Amino acid sequence: MPRAGLTPERVVRVAADVADETGLERLTLATVAKRCGVSLPGLYKHVDGLDAVKRGIAMLAVEEMAARLAAAVAGVTGREALAELSAAYRGYAAAHPGRYAASVRAPAPGDAEHEAVSDRAIAVIASAFRGYRLEGGDLVHAIRMWRIACHGFASLERAAAFGLPESLDETFARIIDALDESFRS
Amino acid sequence: MPRAGLTPERVVRVAADVADETGLERLTLATVAKRCGVSLPGLYKHVDGLDAVKRGIAMLAVEEMAARLAAAVAGVTGREALAELSAAYRGYAAAHPGRYAASVRAPAPGDAEHEAVSDRAIAVIASAFRGYRLEGGDLVHAIRMWRIACHGFASLERAAAFGLPESLDETFARIIDALDESFRS
DNA sequence: AACTTCAAGTTAATAGCACTAACCTGAAAA
DNA sequence: TTTTCAGGTTAGTGCTATTAACTTGAAGTT
């Protein structure tokens, strides 16, 4: 009975990869266990069940996204920061659909650990918007509008909801324009 | 052995109600069968399995939404039409989360029946935008932008992604403003 | 070096799900 | 009156998550 050397982090990472490959809704602990080289119940020594794994994927994804977004806006401001931030968001969602889908679910109320990584990500976005000099409620609304636009785009892009030949990049660019215009007034 | 008087439409309707109550991802044929007063395998005399039921819910939802959107924009144009259309979209998604979630998935390629109801809904939206006098690609991009914004909003509103006390109605109004501004230029 | 302990595994068992197959039956059509 | 078949049934398969009870090997203790 050789030990597989598993840890909760490793299990979540494998699960995240499976989710990216097969879609979050088809993620199964059986597949994760197989890929970890362990029996299905063996996973429960490291992880509390499927829901806990999904929460883990969500936190992993938010952390990864926050890092990429931060890198994307390093050294730029204003409209350029908005464009880079959005492109990084779109890119991550497209490259990691399973992780991304998990990341959308908000932290459960009282889940301090999850809320912490979520807050860090929001801080990255807020600092990327500094060039617009938005204050208080204006900043909150701006962050919401940006996230709504990026999530809507990523979500519908993945759902293959755009059949027509018009360029998706062009649609994306127009959204950035509209947001930039709105944040400026 | 009394007949239950089921039809495919009735099964889909019951399933849609269950989806609204419990969430699409928790929709189960077992629940639907119970509510129809029939054994689980009995459903298969009317319906081809869970995926087919979800497709049915999607088509039902798109039809219902198209009807409500059309009613909402009857007799108005321009900015007012945009606002009414968006409010109706948001309202439907909030009132029927299961139906709405099913409706997001695009028709499978070659699924003419599904594509037909989808096209009818798009036609409603296009006619609501007539006041902006958009042509060709501009209209396509405008419809995409609108749907992205509405879907992003509805999706995140349901995911409880907005913890802060700022008014969601205010965020929604600002999105309408931004779209209206963008469509005008 | 021998002993103890316990984390990390195992197999077995339960329960819920989708789906298939084989059967039954009553009401309408011939 | 007989036949047919749509609309049901129960039984069975295979997948899933989860719990329980058992085993084992590696690390620490004496």
Print pLDDT tens along chain B (185 aa).
667 889 999 999 999 999 999 999 999 999 999 999 999 999 999 999 999 999 999 999 999 999 999 999 999 999 999 999 999 999 999 999 999 999 999 999 999 999 999 999 999 999 999 999 999 999 999 999 999 999 999 999 999 888 999 999 999 999 999 999 999 99
Closest C-alpha among A25, A157, A30, A40 to residue A89: A157
Give the DSSP letter of residue A131.
G
Q: What is the mean pLDDT of residues A104-111?
A: 97
Instruction: State the DSSP H helix or E strand holding residue A143, giving kind and residue range, or none if neither.
Output: helix A137-158
CB B143 within 8 A of CB B126: yes
User: Residue A2: pLDDT above 90?
Assistant: no
CB-based contact A140 B166, cutoff 8 Å: yes
Q: How far is the CA of A40 from the C1' of D19 (A)?
A: 12
Q: Do B174 and A141 lie within an 8 Å CB cutoff? A: yes
Q: Using CA atoms, how far apart are residues A145 and B172, in angstroms rounded to an integer?
A: 8
Q: What share of chain A is helix, strand, coil (3-state, %, to 5)?
A: 75, 0, 25
pLDDT in the model for residue B180: 98
Distance B152 CA to D21 C1' (A): 48
Say which of B106, B170, B177 has its CB closest to residue A159.
B106
Q: Which nucleotides of D are covered by protein (CB under 7 A)?
A: 6-12, 15-21, 23-26
| pLDDT over threshold 70, residue A134 | yes
pLDDT at A9 over 80: yes
pLDDT at A103 over 80: yes
Assign A95 a pLDDT band (cuts: 50, 70, 90): very high
What is the spatial distance between Cα B149 and Cα B175, in angstroms, rounded to a whole number? 7
Residues in chain B: 185
Give the dihedral of Cα atoms B178, B179, B181, B182; nearest 10 deg. 110
Angstrom distance, B37 CA to D11 C1': 20
The mean pLDDT value for A54-70 works out to 98
Closest residue to C24 measured CA to C1′? B1
Q: Do A106 and A121 contact (CB within 8 A), yes or no? A: no
Residues 6+ apart with CB under 8 A from A171: A153, A162, B141, B144, B145, B148
Binary contact (A171, B144; C-beta < 8 A): yes
pTM: 0.96
Strands (DSSP E) contained in A136-178 are none
Is residue A160 predicted with pLDDT exceeding 90? no
The pair of structure tokens assigned to A16 is 């995240």
Q: What is the mean pLDDT of residues A120-147?
A: 98
pLDDT reported for residue B1: 64
Distance CA B135, CA B128 (A): 14
User: In order of start, what are the domains of chain B with their CATH numbers?
Assistant: 57-184 (1.10.357.10)
Asked if B145 lies within 8 A of A175 by C-beta distance, the reply is yes
Nearest to A182 by CA among B66, B171, B156: B171
Chain B residue set in contact with A, beta carbons under 8 Å:
25, 104-106, 137, 140-141, 144-145, 147-153, 155-156, 159-164, 166, 170-171, 174-175, 177-179, 181-182
Per-residue CA distances from A94 to A88, A101, A102 (Å): 10, 10, 13
Q: How confident is the model at residue A76 (pLDDT cuts 50, 70, 90)?
A: very high
Q: What is the structure's pLDDT at B150?
A: 99
Q: Which residue has the higher pLDDT, A37 or A5?
A: A37
Contacts of A184 in chain B (CB under 8 A): none
Nucleotides of C under 7 A from a protein CB: 7-13, 16-22, 24-27
Full DSSP string of A58-74? HHHHHHHHHHHHHHHTT
List, in order, residues 6 or more apart from B157 with CB less than 8 Å away.
B90, B93, B94, B168
